Structure 1
Amino acid sequence: MRSRLEEIAVRVQGPVVADIGTDHGKLPCLLLADPEIRRVIATDISAASLKKCRDLLTTHPRRSDVELKVTDGLQGLDTGQMDTIVISGMGGHRIIGILLRALKEGKTLRRLLLSPQKGEEELRRFLHEKSFMLTADFVVKDEGKFYTVLCAEPGEERYETDNAYRYGQIPLKSRDPVFLERIGKELALQIRVRDQAISDESLREIEERIAQLKEVLGELQD
C-alpha cells in the first residue's frame, strides 16, 4: 500500500511541478525519481522548514532540478509554467485561501493535486464554484490515518446531493474499501462522542452526523 505522498507523486503530470508548503521536502525527493519530471519548485512560508528540505536534497544527484523559494502559497510564482501544483498537509480553508488569491490575481491553475488535513467538503464546494472538476477523489490510509486526495482540473461537473460534497462523488460511486473503512471508523467515533455530549445542541449535531454516516454506509453496503 502506498503512502499519501507516494499516491500524490504517481498522479503528477507534466515536467514542471510545484510543491506548495513542501515542509521537509519529502515529496520533491519522490518526484525526482521520475525522469520525466524535469523541474520541481518547492516552496514554504517557513525558511526553517525550507532549510530542512535543502538539507534533505544536499546529496541528491538531481538537487539542481529543485528550485527552493520562501513564499506564502503561490505568491510571486509564475503558475503558467507549472503543469501540476501540489498543496498538501494543511487545512481545506487554508488551501482555499491560497487558490482564491491566485485566481483573483489571474494566475493559471492547470492541474491541482490537493490533500487537505480537514475541510474536504468546503474544498470540494469551492472547486465546483470556481469551475474545477475532480478527475480523482480518494482516501489513502497512511500509518493508521486517513487522508483525502483530490485531483482538480478546469471543467464543469454536477453535484446532486450534499453527501457528494461531503464525502466525494467518486468515492461514493467506487465503494473503495479504504473509504468504507474510514466511514465505519468515523461512525464508531461519533457514537462514542454522543455518549459524552454535554448539551442538547451538541447532541443534535452528533445525531445528525451519525444519521449521515449511517446513510452513506448503508448505500455503500447495498
Structure 2
Amino acid sequence: MKLPGRLKLIAHMVPECNIVCDVGTDHAYIPIYLVNNKKCKKAIASDIRPGPINIAKKNIEEYGLLDSIETRIGNGLDTIKENEEDVIIIAGMGGIIIKDILERGIDKAKKANALILQPMYAIEVVHEWLCSNGFEVYDEKLAREEKKIYDVIAAKWTGKIQKKDILYHHIGEKLFEKKDPLLKLHIQNKIRQLDKIINEMENMKKRDLEKRKEYINLKEKYEKALTTI
C-alpha cells in the first residue's frame, strides 16, 4: 500500500511496537500499512461511526489482515482496553477534538509509549494542552501533500509541566531544533493566513480589537522566527 504524504509521515513517526491504536481510523489505511511493513504486531482501528468501520473492515479483509487488525466502534480512547496503550494515533481531526479526546482519556494517554497526533487545524490547542498536562513533544515533522503542509507531533507523558512561548504552540519547537526542510514555507503560509485574518478584522467592533492585536503580535513573532532559519 502506498500512502500519500500526510499519512506516510504519520506512519513513519510510529515507533516499532506491539500494538497500535488508530483512533478515528477512517479507512484503516495506516494500520494496514503498519502491519504490512511489520512496524507493529497488532493494530486496533476504531471510529465513532459505523460507516468508516465497515469500509475499514473491507480494506483489512482485502489485504488479508483480519487476524492482525481489529476494528472497534466507540468514542475516543474508550475503545482501548487495559494494556493496549502502546502507541496511540489520533489524526485527521481538529485540534480541539484531539485535545478533548486526550482529556477524556488522559489516564490511557499517560500510559502510552507514544502519542502520534496530527491536527488538521488549531494545532496550538494541542501543543498547549500537552505542555500543561505533563506531555513532552519528543519529535515533530512536516509533510507536504499537494499544496498543503501538515504537522505531525510525537509525544509521551513525563509528568513535567512546561510553559512555552506562544510561538511554539503554533509552530512546534522541534521543527526549529531539527531545521525541518518545510519550516520556512510553513511559516510563510501562516503569515499569509494571519494577514488575511487581520485585514478582515480591521473594521470589526471594539470587542474584537484585542483579538486583532493578538494576531498582529503573533505575526511579528512569525516574521522574527523567519530570520532565524
TM-score by length of 1: 0.87
* Residues 24-39 of structure 1: pairs in structure 2 closer than 5 A: 24-39=27-42
Tell me, in whole angstroms, the C-alpha distance in 2 between the residues paired with 1:211 and 1:103: 34
Partner of residue 170, structure 2: 166
Cα deviation, 1:25-78, whole Å, max 9, x if unaligned, reads 111221122224211100000001111111222221223211000000011421
Map Cα deviations across residues 189-217 of structure 1 (whole Å, 9 max, x no partner): 43345444432727545433432321221
Q: Which moved more, 1:125-134 or 1:106-115?
A: 106-115
Task: Could you tell me which runs of 5 or more consecutive residues in structure 1 were left unpaired when the two chains were aligned.
Answer: none
Counterpart of 1:185 in structure 2 is 189
Please report how far the alpha carbon of residue 102 of structure 1 lies from its aligned counterpart in structure 2 after TM superposition: 1.2
Q: Which amino acid aligns with 1:5?
A: L
**Percent of residue pairs bearing the same amino acid type:** 22
TM-score with structure 2 length normalisation?
0.85
Aligned to 1:207: 216
1:1-222 equivalences under 5 Å are 3-13=5-15, 14-103=17-106, 108-155=111-158, 156=160, 158-196=162-200, 197-199=202-204, 201=209, 204-220=213-229
**Residues 123-148 of structure 1: CA distance to partner in whole angstroms, max 9, x if unpaired?**
11211222111111122111221111
Report Cα offsets for 1:77-121 as digits up to 9, x if no partner. 215223210000111111111111112579733310000111211
- CA shift, 1:159, in A, is 4.4
Q: 1:186 to 1:103 in 2, by over 3 A?
A: closer
Flag structure 2 segments of 5+ consecutive residues without an equivalent: none
Residues matched between the structures, number:
220
Q: Could you say if the C-alpha distance between residues 209 and 41 of structure 1 is closer, same or farther in structure 2, counting changes exceeding 3 Å?
A: same
**TM-superposed deviation, 1:8:** 1.4
User: In the superposition, relative to structure 1, how do residues 112 and 159 fare at CA in structure 2: closer, same or farther (>3 Å)?
Assistant: same
The code of the aligned residue for 1:10 comes to H
**What is the rounded CA distance, in whole Å, between the counterparts of 1:43 and 1:82 in structure 2?**
14
Q: Distance in 2 between matches of 1:30 and 1:105?
A: 24
Cα separation, 2, equivalents of 1:209 and 1:3: 28
